[in-house]
């Protein structure tokens, strides 16, 4: 176990280095830049002086080496737009994104797994066909379109839920108000993830239900719920756990859209704003944080394999 975790940590470090280098090159070699985009009307001398003050006139490998050295010290640099530390900007927004992503992932997992089990047990029934058709629609609907539709329905027409923000003015400590602001973006993200979980749960359970040992358990007279809980669910969870682990990168992309549309102050919205402003220290910092989160999630998923099915060896 310890050797496996150590190997995964080494692989994680290598992955982070590769991700940081590729991201740095993509941002650094992209046409334009922060100075070009934000310094309209300035002379070439003024532009050159600004680039020199920001260190943008140095070769990319030197810029990367300086940034990486600062990162090892816990310094992600400063925003080119307002000069604030990138670490502080991310630390301020990260809890909001974690709250939104966690609620969406838990809701998608509970609903997706339950519906997948129901569809597998009642395979090819009208209920299975209805849920299957709904999941296909859910997979096809773009997140940005669903965002706008829900705002028009629940905020503009019905007035039941707020359309944007983290909390109403003066109600920052009101839990119910926070939940009201959380409802729409979390529902959108859960809706984008749940259909895939339904399909994989149903497929995995149907495959397991056809195994010989399941038929033997039924022949012994066990109740259907006992067969499902003791023999089917446990052996069907590995593919489902894999899909749950893969939902994090999907949620990151969806979070960037949902946070921007709903005005949710998270790192997804911060990343979109930084991209438009060409604020590459913020882009790099968010990329590293998200990459670490994905790597940690993948490690947890692998460890859960062995916990769910002892026959799976981490070695």
Summarised one tens digit per residue, pLDDT across range 250-282 is 677 677 888 888 888 888 888 888 888 778 888
- Does residue 160 fall inside a structural domain? yes
Q: For residue 44, tell me if it sits in a domain.
A: no
pLDDT band at 44 (very low <50, low <70, confident <90, very high): low
pTM to 2 decimals?
Answer: 0.79
pLDDT higher for 171 or 79?
79
76, 87 contact by CB (below 8 A): yes
Task: Give 283-302 pLDDT, tens digit per residue.
Answer: 888 888 888 888 888 777 77
Paired residues of 288 in beta bridges? none
In this predicted structure, the answer to whether residue 47 has a pLDDT above a threshold of 80 is no
- Express each pLDDT in 198-241 by its tens digit: 888 888 887 776 667 666 766 766 666 666 766 666 677 777 77
Q: Calculate the average pLDDT of the chain.
A: 79
d(CA 79, CA 279): 6
What is the rounded CA–CA span in Å between residue 312 and residue 305? 7
Whole-number Å distance between alpha carbons of 73 and 66: 11
Q: What is the pLDDT of residue 201?
A: 83
Q: Is residue 222 part of a domain?
A: yes
At 58-86, the pLDDT tens digits run 777 888 888 888 888 888 888 877 888 88
pLDDT at 241 (0 to 100):
77
Is 123 within the bounds of a domain?
Answer: yes
pLDDT of 313 over the 60 cut = no
Whether 238 maps to a domain, the answer reads yes
Query: Is the separation of the CB atoms in 245 and 300 below 8 Å?
Result: yes
Question: What domain range is 118 assigned to?
Answer: 86-308
CATH code, 212: 1.10.3720.10
For the chain, report the end-to-end CA distance as a whole number of angstroms.
8
Is 31 a domain residue?
no
CA-based radius of gyration for the chain: 24
pLDDT category of residue 54 using cuts at 50, 70 and 90? low
Band (174; pLDDT cuts 50, 70, 90): confident
Give dist(CA 279, CA 33) in Å, integer. 8
Do the domain assignments include residue 35?
no
Q: In the chain, how many domains are there?
A: 1
pLDDT confidence of residue 39: 54
Confirm whether 55 is domain-assigned.
Answer: no
Candidates 34, 85, 82; CA nearest to 56 is 34
Q: Identify whether the C-beta of residue 41 lies closer than 8 Å to the C-beta of residue 51.
A: no
């Amino acid at each position: 176990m310890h050797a496996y975790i150590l190997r995964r940590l080494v692989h994680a470090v290598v992955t982070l280095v590769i991700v940081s280098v590729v991201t740095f090159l993509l941002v650094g070699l992209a046409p334009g830049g922060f100075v070009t985009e934000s310094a309209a009307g300035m002379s070439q001398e003024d532009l050159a002086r600004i680039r020199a003050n920001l260190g943008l006139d140095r070769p990319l490998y030197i810029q990367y080496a300086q940034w990486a050295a600062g990162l090892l010290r816990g310094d992600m640099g400063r925003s080119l737009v307002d000069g604030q530390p990138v670490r502080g900007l991310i630390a301020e927004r990260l809890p909001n994104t974690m709250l939104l992503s966690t609620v969406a992932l838990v809701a998608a997992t509970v609903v997706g797994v339950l519906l997948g089990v129901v569809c597998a047990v009642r395979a090819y029934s009208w209920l299975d066909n209805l849920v299957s058709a709904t999941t296909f629609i859910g997979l096809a609907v773009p997140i940005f379109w669903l965002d706008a539709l829900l705002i028009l329905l629940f905020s503009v027409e019905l007035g039941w839920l707020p359309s944007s923000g983290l909390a109403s003015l003066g109600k920052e400590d009101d839990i119910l108000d926070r939940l009201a602001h959380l409802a729409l973006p979390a529902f959108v993200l859960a809706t984008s993830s749940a259909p895939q979980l339904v399909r994989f749960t149903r497929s995995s359970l149907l495959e397991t239900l056809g195994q010989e040992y399941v038929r033997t358990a039924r022949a012994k007279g066990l109740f259907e719920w006992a067969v499902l809980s003791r023999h089917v669910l446990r052996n069907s969870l590995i593919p489902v756990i894999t899909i749950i682990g893969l939902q994090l990168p999907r949620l990151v992309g969806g979070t960037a859209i949902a946070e921007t549309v709903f005005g949710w102050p998270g790192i997804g919205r911060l990343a979109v704003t930084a991209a438009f402003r060409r604020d590459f220290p913020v882009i790099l910092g968010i990329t590293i944080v998200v990459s670490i989160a994905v790597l940690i999630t993948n490690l947890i998923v692998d460890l859960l394999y062995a916990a769910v099915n002892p026959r799976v060896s981490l070695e």
